[in-house]
A and B are shown apart, each in its own frame.
Chain A
Amino acid sequence: MTWLTWRQSRIQFLAAIVALVAIALTYGLTAAGLNHLYAVYGSHPAEFLTRVKTGGYPVLYFAGCAVMYLTPLVIGAFWGAPLIARELETGTHRLAWNQSVTRTRWLLIKLAIGGGAAMTFAGITGLLLSWWAGPIDRAGGLPVGTSQLSRFQPIVFGTRGIVPIGAAALAFMIGVCAGLLLRRVIPAMAVTLGLLTALLVAMPLAVSPHLITPAQYTRPVTANLTTMSVTGNGEINDPVTDIPGAWILTDQIITRSGAVFMLPDVPACATGTQAQCDAWLAAQPLRQHVVYQPASRYWTFQALETLIWLAIAAGLAGLSLRRIRTIG
Chain B
Amino acid sequence: MNTLIETRGLGKRYRGRQALAECTVSVPAGAITGLVGPNGAGKSTFMSLVTGMLAPSEGSILVLGQAPGRQLAKVGFVAQDTPVYASLSISDHFRLGAHLNPRWDQSYAQERIARLGVDPKQKAGKLSGGQRAQLALTMSIAKRPALLILDEPVAALDPLARRGFTDELTAAASSTGMSVVLSSHLVSDLERTCDWLIVLNSGRVRAAGPLPGLLAAHPGMSTEDMVLTYLEETS
Contact = CB atoms under 8 A, between A and B. Distances in A.
Interface of A: 1, 3-4, 7-8, 90-95, 97-102, 326, 328
A90 B73 CA distance: 23
Nearest to B86: A90
B48 interface: yes
Given A7-B92, A90-B86, A99-B101, A328 B53 contact: yes
B18 to A, nearest CB: 17
9 contacts: A1-B100, A94-B53, A98-B76, A98-B78, A99-B97, A99-B101, A100-B102, A102-B72, A328-B48
A3 B79 CA distance: 24
B101 A100 contact: yes
A101 B100 contact: yes
B72 A100 contact: yes
A90 B87 CA distance: 12
Interface of B: 48, 51, 53-55, 72-73, 75-79, 81, 83-88, 92, 95-97, 99-102, 136, 139-140, 143
Nearest to B55: A326
Contact of A8 (B51, B85, B99, B100): B85
Contacts of B75: 98
A94 B79 contact: yes
B96 to A, nearest CB: 5
Contacts of B76: 98
Given A1-B99, A98-B140, A100-B100, 14 more contacts: A4-B96, A4-B99, A4-B100, A7-B92, A8-B85, A90-B83, A93-B83, A94-B53, A95-B85, A98-B51, A99-B72, A99-B143, A100-B102, A326-B55
Nearest to B70: A102
Nearest to A103: B69
Given A7-B92, A100-B72, A95 B48 contact: no
Nearest to A326: B55
A95 B84 contact: yes
A177 B43 CA distance: 31
A311 B55 CA distance: 31
A198 to B, nearest CB: 32
Given A7-B88, A99-B72, A91 B79 contact: yes
Contact of A97 (B53, B87, B95): B53
A187 to B, nearest CB: 20
Nearest to A95: B83
B104 to A, nearest CB: 9
Nearest to A97: B53
A207 to B, nearest CB: 39
A101 B102 CA distance: 10
The 3 closest A-B pairs by CB, nearest first: A99-B100, A100-B73, A91-B83
B95 A3 contact: yes
A4 B140 CA distance: 17
Nearest to B151: A94
Contacts of B53: 94, 97-98, 328
A92 B84 contact: yes
Chain A CB count within 10 A is highest, among B53, B81, B87, for B53
A100 B75 CA distance: 8
Contacts of A1: 99-100
Contacts of B87: 8
A94 B53 CA distance: 8
Contacts of A8: 85, 87-88
Contacts of B79: 91, 94-95, 98
Contact of B81 (A91, A93, A326, A328): A91
Chain B CB count within 10 A is highest, among A8, A97, A100, A328, for A100
A93 B139 CA distance: 15
A94 B96 contact: no
Nearest to A92: B83
Contacts of A99: 72, 96-97, 100-101, 143
Nearest to B74: A100
A116 B99 CA distance: 21
Given A7-B92, A328-B48, A92 B102 contact: no
A226 B231 CA distance: 95
Contacts of B136: 95
A93 B97 CA distance: 14
Contacts of B84: 92, 95
Contacts of A91: 79, 81, 83
Chain B CB count within 10 A is highest, among A97, A98, A99, for A98
A262 B100 CA distance: 71
Chain B CB count within 10 A is highest, among A4, A91, A95, for A95
A99 B96 CA distance: 9
A99 B143 CA distance: 8
A92 B84 CA distance: 6
